[in-house]
Structure 1
Amino acid sequence: MLKKIRMTTSIIVLGLSLYGLISDNNDLLPFTMAGLAVLMVIMGAEELQKDRKSYRSYLFFGVSAFLLLVSIEGFIY
């Protein structure tokens, strides 16, 4: 289930990124970062479901929190 959600989210983020790159539209950058934050949360949840005792899941959650803060700042300014 998480794999399908991850693939869908990554396709959406890739589409937003390509559109912003081709059209030189920087207004979509906060949406792209928010999508990346969601993608990192999903990847962290997959790592936790695999029950791996590694730092990667915590790293995914930390990077996700940072991306979410940066995207919120992008929405405000």
Structure 2
Amino acid sequence: MVRIILAIVVIVLSSYRLITESKTDLMPYCMFFLGTLILVIGLAELQKDRKGFVGYMSIVSSLIVLFVSIQDFLMHLKGRFVTIVMYSYCIATSNNNTFNH
């Protein structure tokens, strides 16, 4: 059930980005859900007593995808924070200039 929900979320996010051709910030979320889906698939393979290559490789690849998605999300968050700080600084300096004249 969890695999189906995660797969639907990944398909919807990817389809939306593909159809609208938007450069929105959906990519970190899509990668996060994809990494979670791959992790769930890997754990399910290990629970089925199929301790083969696929289960372990799924877990390793999911951890890499999750790491990249979190890093990408934090970089976007940092970029937004810098923009807000610069905007606040511009407003503060423009207000100070009007009081000096």
The answer, yes or no, to whether TM exceeds 0.5 is yes
Query: Partner letter of residue 28 of structure 1?
Result: L
The Cα shift of 1:65 comes to: 0.6
The aligned runs of 1:1-77 (5 Å cut-off) are 4-26=1-23, 27-77=25-75
Deviations 1:12-39 (A, max 9, x none): 1100000011112231000000001110
Question: What percent of counterpart residues are identical?
Answer: 39
Stretches of structure 2 that go unaligned for 5 or more consecutive residues are 76-101
| Structure 1 residue ranges, 4+ long, deviating more than 6 angstroms after superposition | none
TM-score by length of 2: 0.69
Hey, what's the Cα distance between the residues in 2 that align with 1:46 and 1:68? Answer: 18
Aligned length in residues: 74
The Cα shift of 1:45 comes to: 1.2
Q: CA RMSD in A?
A: 1.0
Stretches of structure 1 that go unaligned for 5 or more consecutive residues are none
Matched residue of 2:26: which SS? helix
* CA radius of gyration, larger in: 2
Kindly indicate whether structure 1 or structure 2 has the higher relative contact order, using CA contacts under 8 Å at least 6 residues apart. 1
Hey, what's the Cα distance between the residues in 1 that align with 2:13 and 2:38? Answer: 16
